[in-house]
Each structure stands twice: as structure tokens, then as C-alpha cells.
Structure 1
Amino acid sequence: MTDLKLIALDTEDLEVVSAHVQDAVVRVADMGYARADRRFALLMNRFDWQSVQGKRDKGQRKRAALHFDSVQSVVTAGFDPGAAEGVLSLLAITFMPIDGPAGIVELSFAGGGTVRLGVECLEARLSDLGATWAAAAKPAHALD
């Protein structure tokens, strides 16, 4: 599998990034906001949906980094940001424009947790960081 490197500068780009990080596993301690740099970053073990070779194949995971620039504010809800060993499953990333290029980026996690980033403009980068490994299980979602 080739290392993935994506940039999102608009809603359509972010939808592609969101699809690639769906079901990524994120430790709470691996997320952070660098206020001076106006950057929010997170490390994750992303599930590579493209690697699945049939119904019984469990797929692969890969370490990846995602960061957002031009971040003005960060608001978390639905989980304890101080629980360093907490683990979250990333479901989707969306962008809601507010004023011109400014808006809210929302990272939605299983169980209702969210991270909302107030951004001057949408600018996100996703990069794979290393080798792949076999996933313990393929993520499954209820269809209700």
C-alpha cells in the first residue's frame, strides 16, 4: 500500500479525507491544539478500507497524522479531554461555512463525542506515517 498524502482546501476535499479516516482509532492524548501556531493535530491508526479483499478479510491499519491550520478555537464535547488514555473512534469530519472562508470543522466520534474547530479557512493535511499492520477486526456499523 502506498503512503497516503491528502490536502483539503474545500468541502469536497474534506469529504475525501473524511472517507479515508472513517473508523480511525485516536487516543485522547494524541490530539492537541498548538495555540501559538494556530494548529490542531491528531495522530491516529486509520483503517484502510481500500485494503479489504472480501467479506472475511479484516483489512489493515496504518499510523497517520492529520492537522488543521488557521484554527482560532477548539471546543470538545462528549468525552473527557483530560483522560489521556481514552480511546475514540473517528466516524466523520465535516465543514460548516459561517462567514466567507471561515467556518466550523467538526470531528465526530462514536458515542457522540465531538471536537469543533473554529477556522479562518479550511486547510487540512493527512499523511500516512509508516508501515501497515493487519487489523484485529473490520469495523462494523449498525444500519439504523
Structure 2
Amino acid sequence: MPELKLFAFDAEDLAVISAHLQDALIRIGDLAYLPQEKRFAAIGNRFDWVEALRNPRVQDYVRRQAALRFERVLGARMQGIDLGRKDAVLSLLAIGFEPKGDPDDPGGHVTLHFADKGAIRLEVECIEAELKDLGPVWRAKSMPQHPDDDSAPAGEPRERP
């Protein structure tokens, strides 16, 4: 599969990026909030769900190094994440968007939800995000599992992008 490069400018676009990043592994040391540039960025290793579901009977899973970037970020707050533990790894579950409420205001909050109740909440002027594969690809030992997910029988893949 060719390298992925996606942009998000609304909640629907962001949901596509979220689906591609589900189960991405991100080192805390690879998170960066740059307030002067109004930017938040992260580098992680995403599980390639498209490749995994192309032929679910063949267990040829891969991970890809990818960069996630948000522009127009006014603030960032973290919950359940110790920035001092630079080598600790977070498992990304989903990315969501909550608008401010005024339909004429494109701003709101983007939240990155991690396993073990960790979260990063970004206050944004509007949604402006990019997901880009960086090149390195390697075999993954297994497909990520979610024991509390009842949407598919045990061992069966769930719908992905």
C-alpha cells in the first residue's frame, strides 16, 4: 500500500484520520505542543488496518511510522499523561471533535483519547490536521484486540477504514 497522506478540515475528515490512527503507539517523548506556532504534533507507529483487512485470513500485519499534526491550536491540556516519562508509550483509541456550539464558529476542542484514560485536549480555532506516513514499515506480531468490544466475535476483525 502506498504511503498515506490525509488532511482534515472538518469533523468528518477528522473521523477518517482517527480510524487510521486507532491503536497507534506513541511515545510521550514524541508529543510536541508548540504554542508560538499554534501547532501540536506527534510521531507514532500506526497499525495499518486497511492492509490487515484486505485479506483477514492472512495474518500479515504491518505497522507504519506516521506523523500527526494539528495547526491553529490555541491551547493543550493533558489528563492522565506524565510528560516526565518520555519513554512511556500511549495507545491511541480515537480522536474526536466538540464544536464550541455556535454554528458560525469553526472552533472547538479536538481530543485524543488514549488507553488507560489518558487524553490530550486541544483548543483549536478550526480543524486543520494532517496525517502522513513517514516511510518505515515493519511486520506487527498481531492485530490489536479490544476485549470490551462486542461488535465482532472473538478473533474476528472489526470494520476499519
Q: TM-score range by the shorter chain?
A: over 0.9
Which residue is 2:111 aligned to? 106
How many residues were matched structurally?
144
Which residue is 2:80 aligned to? 78
User: Please, which of 92, 96, 115 is the counterpart of residue 90 of structure 1?
Assistant: 92
Question: Does the residue aligned with 1:101 lie in a helix, a strand or coil?
Answer: coil
Answer whether contact 1:76 1:116 (CA < 8 A) is retained.
Answer: yes
Report Cα offsets for 1:48-86 as digits up to 9, x if no partner.
011113246151100000000000110000121221011
User: Please, which of 101, 122, 125 is the counterpart of residue 127 of structure 2?
Assistant: 122
Gaps of 5+ in 2: 151-161
Identity of aligned residues (%): 48
Residues 32-41 or 128-137, more deviating: 128-137
CA gap 1:70/1:87 in 2 versus in 1, 3 angstroms: same
Report Cα offsets for 1:92-135 as digits up to 9, x if no partner.
00010004111000000011100000001110001000031101
- Output the CA distance in 1 between the equivalents of 2:60 and 2:14: 26
Tell me which amino acid in the other structure corresponds to 2:69: H
Answer whether contact 1:66 1:124 (CA < 8 A) is retained.
Answer: yes
CA RMSD of aligned residues (A): 1.2
Tell me which amino acid in the other structure corresponds to 1:120: E
Which residue is 2:159 aligned to? none
Tell me which amino acid in the other structure corresponds to 1:135: A
Larger Rg: 2
- Output the CA distance in 1 between the equivalents of 2:60 and 2:143: 5
Which residue is 2:140 aligned to? 135
Residues 51-60 or 97-106, more deviating: 51-60
Moved over 6 A (4+): none
